[in-house]
Structure formats: C-alpha cells, structure tokens
Amino acid sequence: MFKVGERKIGWHKDFDSSHFLALPYESKCLRIHGHTYNVDVEIWGELNENGMIFDFNHLSNLVKLLDHRILVSEDWIAEREDGSLVIEKNGKRIELPEKEAVVLDKPNVTAEYIAEWFAERVAEKAGDNVRKIRVKIWEDPRSYAEVVLER
C-alpha cells in the first residue's frame, strides 16, 4: 500500500528584462542588454488549510513585476524624485521612470542575485507549511543560477 510521502510543487515561466552588471574588468555585460529569462521554482511542504503548498498566483505576480523592466541594484540609485530614478554606475547616468525599473536590494544584478531576490520574495509569501524553496533563473538556454532556501 502506498502512502503520501514528500510533497512538492513546480512552476516555470519566462519574462523579458534588461540589466547591466558592475564588474571590475572589461566585459560586454557592462552595457545595458536584455534577456528572455526563464524561472523555475520548486517548493516543498505540507498542504495548508486551502489544500495547497503555495499559491501559483504569487509566482505569476512576481514575474509580472519583473517583465519588461530594467533591473538595477539599490546601491546604484543616485537620486529618487518625482517618480524618477537616477542610476549612476559604470560611467553611466540614466534617468528613468521608477515604474520602469525593479530595484533589487542586492549589490549587483547577476543571475545569482536575481535568483536570490526571487526566492526571498517567494519566502515572504510562504506559510509555515513551506520548508524548502528552490529558484533557478536561466539567462539563456545554456546558463542558469540556482538558490535554495530551507527552514
């Protein structure tokens, strides 16, 4: 006889965003460029009172927040005024409407930090029933960064 063992949900979605990196060496990634990112999320836990481990709608809302935005580090914000951000990094000074950017509380905007940021936002919505979160961010079909959060 079988019994229910470990429970896990999985979710996959793509989104388009632009970014640039802050690096101490010459790289094409210092320039503003974009990716069609793919995000894979796995969440382990027990069923909550609604019969879910986690609501997929929270994941969809996170992707909507990132889609068609420029991702920047909060460390690069020189000014915030009248709904605009001024970003200064790598010899650039960029002013853009705040609603067109997502400011990550990370020192850079690498795939590793994007994955960490995404996992932390998932954790904020997770109930006590969730015990493990894995987020994998694909920048292209060959390259990904992965982070795991555990209780």
Among candidate residues 29, 98, 112, 146, the one labeled active-site is 29
Residue 42 appears among annotated catalytic residues: no
Among candidate residues 112, 120, 139, 146, the one labeled active-site is 139
Among candidate residues 33, 46, 68, 88, the one labeled active-site is 68
Residue 49 appears among annotated catalytic residues: no
Enumerate long-range contacts of 19-28, CB under 8 Å, 24 or more apart: 19/70, 19/71, 19/72, 19/109, 20/89, 20/90, 20/92, 20/109, 21/108, 21/109, 21/110, 22/73, 22/76, 22/89, 22/90, 22/107, 22/108
Residue 68 appears among annotated catalytic residues: yes
Active site residues: 29, 68, 139
